[in-house]
Amino acid sequence: MKGLRVVAALLICLITGAAATTTFEFSNKCSYSVWVATLSGANNPPLSQTGFHLPSSSSSSLTAPPAWSGRFWGRSFCSTDSSGHFSCLTGDCGTAQIPCNGAGGSPPATLIEITLGSNGNADFYDVSLVDGYNLPVAVGPIGGTGDCRLAGCQSDLNGKCPPELAVDGPGGLVIACKSACEAFGDPRYCCTGAYGTPSTCGPTNYSTLFKTACPMAYSYAYDDRTSTFTCVGPKSYTLTFCP
């Protein structure tokens, strides 16, 4: 009987653990390929894939354990040279491989940031343009309760990017849009130094341009009030490129 109780307890743990995981469902609605990148936060385990190819009109998924936090972004204009060196013109990890292996993305890149709650606590999620923009994205929970709205930047900011922020690609095509902080390094745009508090760092003409195009995304460091969303108990999230 004792052995049966142990087996039953193990089964309960396995079932509970499986139910507690969260699934991230990725979808690429762009007319071109996207190479998804994943980066776990400090003291969080890496997901089963830290980077993968997501062809146009395809989907894929990853699971994360309870209380996981991290970020996702898409890389574009990627290729592998004759020596096998992989690189991307936007969002590159610098690993020379499709997996990012714990490396962050080179800005500008549109970031999806998620912190999963546990024990009934809410998840927090947002889409950030603080490091600039390269691809339109949207993230939203499936199920759950609370402010479980769709977050993201669904506009093509590359087409609206001021020349001084623009990153040119093949044929002069604008393939990404820098943040003003990245472009100029000015503390008033970076919310650093004398501008390092919410009261001293407010919207600028550049962040306002981003916010007008993408009202459901972070436009600068202290753009919290309309940019962070919470949801309690969702089982999965949809993450869509070119929604």
Number of neighbouring beta carbons within 10 Å of residue 141 = 26
Under 8 Å between Cβ of 167 and 176: yes
The predicted-structure confidence for 72-110, as pLDDT tens digits, reads as follows 999 999 999 999 999 999 999 999 999 999 999 999 999
How far is Cα 65 from Cα 54, in angstroms, rounded to an integer?
23
Q: Letter for the amino acid at 107?
A: P
CA 160: distance to chain centroid?
21
Could you tell me the domains of the chain? 22-241 (2.60.110.10)
Under 8 Å between Cβ of 189 and 181: yes
Per-chain mean pLDDT for the chain = 92
- Report the pLDDT averaged over residues 192-198: 96
How far is Cα 238 from Cα 148, in angstroms, rounded to an integer?
12
Backbone angles phi and psi of 175, in degrees to 5:
-110, -10
- Report the pLDDT averaged over residues 32-36: 98
pTM: 0.90
